Structure 1
Amino acid sequence: MKNKTACLVLSISQSIYAIFLLAWAISVFFTIVLLPEDEYDTGAPGMFYTILSYPLVLLTSALGSWYCYHKLKFKTSYALNAIPLLWVIPMGLFMILLWKFGLSS
């Protein structure tokens, strides 16, 4: 193994990202249901396509980070591996807020 720490970080973080695919599927469903049908609204479709792109970003960043890992560019590998956090952190915060405030009625 080239770098055990890098391999462990990549494996664990990408496993967590894969678990968030379930939250992604739920988010896409709710976005489709709650998307306003106003044809002049540009924010809602933009948000929908941003949410929809998570699996593509996850796959691309995973492939890129493992490619950089095999080329011994570990810092670049970590940076590429962190890109899905732009989707995971908001999804996680949304789930926490939903659990904290949405279910306490």
Structure 2
Amino acid sequence: MKTVLLLILSNIFMTLAWYLHLKFKNKPLPSAIMMSWGLAFFEYIFQVPANRIGSSSFSVTQLKVLQECITLAVFTLLAWIIFKESPSWNLLIAYLFIIGAVFFAFKG
């Protein structure tokens, strides 16, 4: 459970680092880059321990599949909150397939 919580926190910072600057397009590009790097620092504070802790229970491939699923969930939520982008029906179906991928990655 620690791994999942740390990955969620990591992905919140990652998503903010990658996309939050789009809300401030009037700021100079170097400022956007510095803001993104600052946020990415916190991503790594959570990502590295998540992978270290998780590697005792999961394979590297399982960690990656889990991380990607969390990334999409966090991205969708933040895109909805920050950019007012509602998930469409076809995106929700795509997510069901991703959840299926996670299931098969962790199955026996």
Interval of TM-score (by shorter of Structure 1 and Structure 2): 0.3 to 0.5
Larger radius of gyration: 1
